[in-house]
Amino acid sequence: MSLHIYDTSTRAIREFVPVEAGRASIYLCGATVQAPPHIGHIRSGVNFDVLRRWLSRSGYDVTFCRNVTDIDDKIIRVSAEESVPWFVVAERNQRAFTWAYDTLGCLPPTVEPRATGHVPEMITLMERLIERGHAYASGGDVYFSVQSYAERYGSLSNQRVENMRPAADTDDESCKRDPRDFALWKGEKPGEPTWPTPWGPGRPGWHLECSAMATKYLGSTFDIHGGGIDLIFPHHENEIAQSQAAGDGFAHYWMHNGMLKIGAEKMSKSLGNSLLIPEMVQKVRPVELRYYLAAPHYRSSIEYSEEALLEAAAAYQRIEGFVTRAAEVIHDVDADAPLPQAFADALDDDLGTPQALAVVHEVVREGNVALSRGDKEAVARLLAETQNMLDVLGLDPRSPQWRGAGSDLAPVVDALVAVALEQRKAARERKDYAAADAIRNQLAAAGITVEDTPHGARWELSR
């Protein structure tokens, strides 16, 4: 079976056939950095990180572009409220997003362009649209003419132009030929940042930014465009319109992840239920939070509750427990071991992570039985399968990411704890239990839990 994904534009499951054989290109609408991220924001990052990992595991050379919207109305509003420059707001929150992506194990994007660094490409795109009769300048602004593209506008969101509301993206609607026309460029206003253009100084519209960045790094036609379901209209609808009206093929597939809600309300700062990432990783470990976000199907909505979060953490700990115990018996894991076919089939079926994780848990149950029987050959095979599946999902507890000290410090911590455990072992052998307990207590005070097993002492960061 090959990868099949649900394409929002056709409202159907389609086989993934890349533009270029052996290569896969993904554009993900990333952060608009007016505020730090909550788990609703980072869900998208986790979902598309799994997609990227699966494409790579399936043999594709993946180019993954995740943009940063570092100028828009919301950022300017926060800037005014805090009396700080707009770029201070953007930089502060971009760093918070980067930290959150890294903390939850998302691989760095191939390229992470900022909107403000791509104004020349935006100007070129507007010039092409004006030349083709799909855009017009008015009062320092530039607008896309929806009527010029009326036959195809609304296809992604399955709407008809005559039923659409005004774009409501400018203070003076009289500048527009049609109230549904949307702003490509916003003319200069007092106190706002500006960039020069042939139509006067101003700043880019949100939709224009993504089209310019996507085609610059992935080409005029690329494979997958992703984002949250809330972006389908107007953002992604407008991206398609302006890009294809300019002559670009743009994205072949559109993938959208579901929302994360509290009490049937979409998470937002205004609702006061933002659940920021630094707060969440005090409730559970980062890897457990990643499991919670990756376990549901990416197109489903998640109804957040702390009970569900803790249940996900417990489920992950059962997997982790097997991997930890098995690794004490099997020291060399076959990284090239084949994945169980049921796991591969699940991910090939529109990235079915619930079914994929069901396979992981079934293999873990078999592994625990093999451990209890002392069947080292079966343990070795099942451990390799488990770790290889978890690697695809970004959840392998033995990867440097999740060892608790980061990829640079994990070996150092391992070495220091090993010395302490050797000292404790020596104290126990000479029956100096007070010294052994003192070493254990010192490690506990440093956040390290020691467990005695038939194979020797095991340590982990305290939960």
Q: In the 3-class helix/strand/coil scheme, how is 246-314 assigned residue by residue?
A: CCCCEEEEEEEECCEEECCEECCHHHCCCCEHHHHHHHCCHHHHHHHHHCCCCCCCEECCHHHHHHHHH
CATH 3.40.50.620 domain residues, the chain: 4-257
The percent of residues in the chain predicted with pLDDT above 90, rounded, is 79
Q: Look at residue 446 in the predicted model and tell me its pLDDT.
A: 78
Q: Look at residue 442 in the predicted model and tell me its pLDDT.
A: 81
Q: Look at residue 210 in the predicted model and tell me its pLDDT.
A: 97
Cβ 340 vs Cβ 386: under 8 Å: no
Q: Look at residue 407 in the predicted model and tell me its pLDDT.
A: 43
pLDDT, tens digit, 9 for 90 and up, residues 391-443: 999 999 999 888 754 445 556 666 777 777 777 778 787 887 787 778 778 87
Q: What global pTM score does this model have?
A: 0.89
Is domain 283-401 given the CATH code 1.20.120.640 in the classification? yes
**4-257: which CATH architecture?**
3-Layer(aba) Sandwich (3.40)
Q: Look at residue 236 in the predicted model and tell me its pLDDT.
A: 98
Average pLDDT across the chain, whole number = 92
CATH 1.20.120.640 domain residues, the chain: 283-401
Q: Look at residue 456 in the predicted model and tell me its pLDDT.
A: 66
Phi, psi angle pair for 225, to nearest 5°: -115, 130
H or E segment and range at residue 202: strand 202-204
Q: Across residues 260-269, what is the average pLDDT? A: 71
Cβ-based neighbour number of residue 64 at 10 Å: 26
CA angle 411, 417, 419 (to 5 degrees): 105
Q: Look at residue 425 in the predicted model and tell me its pLDDT.
A: 79
Q: Look at residue 264 in the predicted model and tell me its pLDDT.
A: 61
Q: Look at residue 268 in the predicted model and tell me its pLDDT.
A: 60
